[in-house]
Structures are given as structure tokens and as C-alpha cells.
Amino acid sequence: MPRTSEPVRRIETPAGVRYVAVADAPHARGEKRRQVRRRFARRGDAVKWLGQMRAGTAPELQEPEPEPEVLTFASIARPWLEVKRRTVRAVTFAGYEKAVKIWTTELGDKPLDQISKADIEALVNRYQDEKRSYSRVSYLLAVCRSILGEAVEEELVGRNVAARVKPRGASAKARQAMSAEEIRKVRIQASKDPWEALWVLSLLGLRRSEVLGLRWSDIDFEAGTLSVRRARVQIGGSRQINVTEPKTANGRRTLPMPEDLVAALKRLRAVQMQEFGLAAVRDGYLGLDAAGEPIRPEVYSDEWRVLLGKAKVRAVTLHEARHSSVTAMREAGVPDMAVAQWHGHDEAVMMRTYSHPSEESLREAGEAFATAVF
């Protein structure tokens, strides 16, 4: 009878003669030795298997082919969002995060190569049917396009199915820019409001965050200038308010003040000094509520809508009012570069589009706007 130490043993079984082969499985230095046994009907098959084990080619030594990863919208949206977390401001990231949550709820587990243009249109159409604003729907669509665009760049999918999807209706800019007559009506109504100076700043095209970020130390009445140095922004839908740098590199700027604005600011300073004392007008915020606290962004937007209602002007957002000031300045003949710098547009965009403005042209930008519409 063969000894048990032999690599192939012949044994009798109820099913007939079988051959048992024993081989050492590959193992790293220091690991416990492990043996593999297999039973064969023919000796030749057992010997062949032993050779394969020694050569490392036996089937049981081969790593199984990994199951291919099924890419979904959620699996590509997560890394996209992480990159944004590191590269954009907190308020911008909050917007991206909210949009990604909406899209992953809609498309999250669907394989990437099965997402169709119809899937994207379904959400866009549903949101428009729910009377969401054109700008909000466009923003959601832009986020989706960006995520799928990255997937195309990484060759994870063949095409960006969101690229040709468009919301129904005209663009927000074409539909919502205020006319000069509407701006005049708002300016007249603003003169009856305690926040008159703030509304003038908004009509002049400053961002909401910039208006609410202005302190009295940013106003130089002697030089007739104001300096935009910071922004007060609300984080997503929370009550958290952050004080940050202006939105873009070119957002930090010093602007000559039109006479109309200077007069309104002097009236505001006199009221605040009487109500809140000297400290409030030394380095406090221009925008204070009735309790002497900095105005919250959402409250400012609510009061803007109230102001428009009193002026009997159709509803436009503060952002659309900013766009309207761009249009009004350009129609008044102000050089494009001066308009861009007045509004704190991105420097790279300005350098591609405009030439450098003089200080005089900036002064003309503010005065031309005030003369044209106030």
C-alpha cells in the first residue's frame, strides 16, 4: 500500500478507485504552511494537477476576475462634490450639496450608462410644473451637466445626456431685467423707507452679501468713496451667517459714490446715531434692523419684495436688480470695462472681454446710472 507521504495516493471508495493528490499552497515567508487536497478518477489527472500547483497555474490558485463596478450617478457625484468642498466657498458648496442631493434622489442608483436625456428632462419639467423659478431649475441643470461632463472627461460614459436639456421658457435675464422706469419707481418708494441707502446700493448693482457686509468704516465721505471688503452670506437654508471675502477676486474694490447715494448714506448715519449711538456709526454695519442687529440676508430679500409691492413693480430678485444695473449703465454709454469693475465681475472674464478702465470712467459709471434712472 502506498505511504501517506506520497504526493498521489490510490484509495478505494464505494464509487471505485480514486487518486488523492496533496500539494503545498503558496504562502509568504513566516506564514503557516497550508496543504491543498484534491481527488481524481485518473492518476494522470492527479499528476497533472500537482505540476500545475508547483507552477502556480492550477485553477484554484488564480484570482477570480473581479465583478466590474457598476457606475451610478451617486458614485460619480460624490467625488465631484468632495472636490468642490475643497475649492469653493462654504455658501457655494452648500448650494452644490443641495443640488446633488436632489439629483441623487432622482438618479442615484441608476447605472450611469442607462441614464437618458429623458431622465434629466423629467426632473427639469417636474420642477417647472411645480413653479420653481427659471434660475433655480437652470442651476440644478448646470450642476447635473457639470457632474456628467466630468464623467465624459474621465471616459466613464460616452456622452453628456444633460448637455442639450434646456428649461422651458425664456432665460431669466431676458425676462426679468428691470426697465429704467421700474428702477425709478423703486427709487422713489425707497426714499420713503428707513433702508433707503441700502436699496440705492442694491439698485446700483452691489450684491446682497456686499450691501450687508458694508461697515461705516468702509465709507469715506471726504473722498466720496465706498470700499467693498467683505460679504455677509447665509449658508444654504440654515440660519448660519458667515462673513467672508467678496465673491470674486475682483469683488474687493473701491467705488466713487454718486451724490444721490452720499445723501442717502448721510441720512441713514444720522438716524442710526440718534437710535443706536456713536459706536454704531463708527464701525458698525450699515444694515441694522429695528433692534440694532445686523440685517439677516433672508429678511433683506423679504423686505425687497415688500418694497417692490409698494412701488407697484413686478417681482424681481435682488440678483435681477443687479443685472438691471448692468443693462442701465451700458445703455447710458458707460464703457464695458468700467461696468464690469463697478459690479466686481471676475477678473479673468474682464481681461478676456474688456480693457482697463480709468478712475474717471468708474466715476462716470455711478453718476451715469444715477442720472439716467434716479
Q: What is the pLDDT of residues 337-356, one digit of tens each?
A: 888 889 887 645 544 443 34
In this prediction the pTM is 0.58
Q: Dump pLDDT digits (tens) for 7-32.
A: 788 888 767 788 888 887 765 555 66
Tens of pLDDT along 127-150? 888 878 787 888 899 899 989 988
CA distance 299 to 324: 22
The pLDDT score that the predictor gives to residue 183 is 92
The mean-pLDDT minimum among 128-137, 183-192, 206-215, 265-274 falls in 128-137
pLDDT at 29: 57
pLDDT in the model for residue 164: 87
Strand, coil or helix: what is 242? strand
More confident residue, 335 or 224: 224
3-state secondary structure of 234: strand
- Of the ranges 36-40, 112-116, 256-260, 345-349, which one carries the lowest mean pLDDT score? 345-349
- In the chain, what percentage of residues exceed pLDDT 90? 29
Q: Is the pLDDT of residue 274 over 80?
A: yes
pLDDT of residue 179: 85
% of the chain exceeding 70 in pLDDT: 83
Decide if 143 contacts 102 (C-beta within 8 A): no
Q: What are phi and psi of 237, to 5 degrees?
A: -95, 10
pLDDT of residue 285: 93
Q: Rounded to a whole number, what is the largest CA-CA distance in the chain?
A: 115
Taking residues 85-90, what's their average pLDDT? Answer: 78
Q: Which of 36-40, 323-327, 352-356 is the least confident region?
A: 352-356
211 or 5: which leads in pLDDT: 211
Q: Is the pLDDT of residue 282 over 50?
A: yes
Q: Where are the beta strands (DSSP E) in the chain?
A: 8-13, 16-24, 35-40, 219-220, 225-228, 231-234, 241-244, 253-256
Q: For domain 73-169, give the fold.
A: DNA polymerase; domain 1 (1.10.150)
Q: For the chain, what is the mean pLDDT?
A: 82
Burial class of residue 16 (count of CB atoms within 10 Å of its CB; 0-12, 13-18, 19+): exposed
Contact 274, 266 (CB under 8 A): no
175-373: CATH topology is hpI Integrase; Chain A (1.10.443)
pLDDT at 55: 82
CA-nearest of 263, 272, 327, 316 to 294 is 272
Question: pLDDT band at residue 4, thresholds of 50, 70 and 90?
Answer: very low
Determine the pLDDT at residue 219. 95
pLDDT tops 70 at residue 68: no
Q: Between the CA of residue 300 and those of 85, 233, 286, 304, what are the distances in Å?
A: 27, 12, 13, 6
| CA 210 centroid distance within chain | 19
Spatial separation of the C-alpha atoms in residues 298 and 317, rounded to whole Å = 12
- CB atoms near residue 295 (< 10 Å): 20
| Position 201 pLDDT exceeds 80 | yes
pLDDT surpassing 50 at residue 187: yes
Residue 279: predicted pLDDT: 82
